Structure 1
Amino acid sequence: MRNTNIRLPQSAETDVQQITRPSRHYRYGYSRSSDCRRWSEPGQDYLTLAERESSLSFVLCDGVSQSYEGGFAARFVGDRLLDWLLLFGETAALPLGDGQRLLNQFMKELTKEANQCLQEQAISPSIQGLLREALSLKKEQGSATMYCGGRIDYPGTQHPNGRLLLVWQGDIRCRIWRDRNETTAELPGDLLSVRGQWNSAAGPVGGMPFWYCTELLQKQRKGELLLYSDGFQALDRYPRVTGELLSELLASETEHPSSDDISFLQVTWDFTSS
């Protein structure tokens, strides 16, 4: 299988897509808010994936609209964190504290490059007066995003039972099922807190990134991971999420006159026959 890299465009919609491999498949989609579509502006969510022979790495970001250019922060963190997750797979297994500490340091170091990129994005000369002052202050305070990223290593020589790594800050929804039972409660921290985020001026805000690493296959040999931004919070009330439900809800939420940006990723695995 050839390496596959996917970056969903922020300037267009992506209907539900499904990719199927032996023992696993994944679905993803994207929709801009009603305001962004009305004014032909890019959304502030961002989703990127990298599929390899025995792994899938991914990052879903939700730019903070009250910050300066939240869509930039979402795209910047998404691309850089995905690269980090790909490199992480080349290293030996790390104790919890080491992995979390290294990630926190990496996220801090990103601020230098991010600030340089932002400085190169000049505020339009046509914007003057109090609005320009307000935008200049926002720019100094930084561009911010919430995010959830991870890496799934499927069962093989290096990881006989596979490996699931998740890292996040903010209120990106992250849900896990093992067999047909939802086990999201095993994740550390408050998954709905908006205090945690990454900021181009400050790095990680609200504490260190949360870190969760475990075997993919435990007593159960099949399961599911679902990530989605708060624009798709209609999914919160469903104990099970099928492909049909994803398509139906994406269509209905997109048509809502006050819809927010929506992005999601669903990964399903089944190794019961292997």
Structure 2
Amino acid sequence: MPDSAKIQSIYTDGACSGNPGPGGWGVVVYFTDGSRQELGGGAAATTNNRMEMQAAIAALEFLATAKQSEPISLYTDSEYVKNGVTKWVAGWKKKGWKTAQGKAVLNQDLWQTLDELNSKQVEWRYVRGHAGDVGNERCDAIARSFSLSRPIALKQRSPQTANSKNSIEPELALVANTPSGLPTTATSESDTTDIASTNAVQQSSVNLAELSTMDVTMTDSIAPAPLENLDNLPREVRVAQLRNLIETLRISDEIAKQGYLISSSELADLMDVNASAVTSRGDNWVWRNWVVSRVRREGNQILWQLERVD
């Protein structure tokens, strides 16, 4: 029986053990018949943003092989990726892949690939990370497992199985779509070869319960602060607030330019929000003119990095 199922939605996510450091990415493709296909891969030395982008590239490449005309929804928890594809790329291309400050766009190679693969068929949607969304959580588990060089088994879809109600679920296998430039090597379950040299491996003994203990999941709720009616404030107060804002933006620019890492509490002070409003937003998000990325945990503090984008 021919396979008539179509791709309905795709989830993507990236992870990095250190920023830069070993990274991984994960993709979950959902079909209209209820089946799914999972992809994953990694790199030895990369950044969280590049892994988020690599996941989106793998998703679009998979969509291209499906040769379907129906629209699909692509979910990412990276505002950097979503805004880059839907808003920033057009301006960068007009400026010759330069930012508003005349600097070269970071990750230009991946942005160009994403731009070439993207189409009106794809509806880009943001999903909040670490918030219980099944597709996002699964992608996160896949990405983190590859970043830790302990890839978990990935679900492989077969048209025959999808069309048979009484068939047994196909065996789980790994499809490690390693970024270009990395050698292809098959390994056994007990092999601990670094993921940078691994393109396809057999089933891993790591399960989701084990993986969940390897890193901290941030689930604090974010409560929007009430907005003041600035029109009712004296002009001198409004001007003073504007001066304070400009100073805050200058400090943020300096932090990004120098590559300084700041803690959650320091970032919260900079943004003038509660610390929970920082940690609850996930590993990678956009604030004003900066992409904010979680780098690592030191003691009881999470360290963050700011990257200027326009």
Confirm or deny a common fold (TM above 0.5): no
Q: TM-score, normalised by structure 1?
A: 0.32
Report which of the two has the higher share of helix: 2
Higher radius of gyration, 1 or 2: 2
Name the one with the larger strand percent. Answer: 1
Instruction: Return the TM-score normalized by structure 2.
Output: 0.29
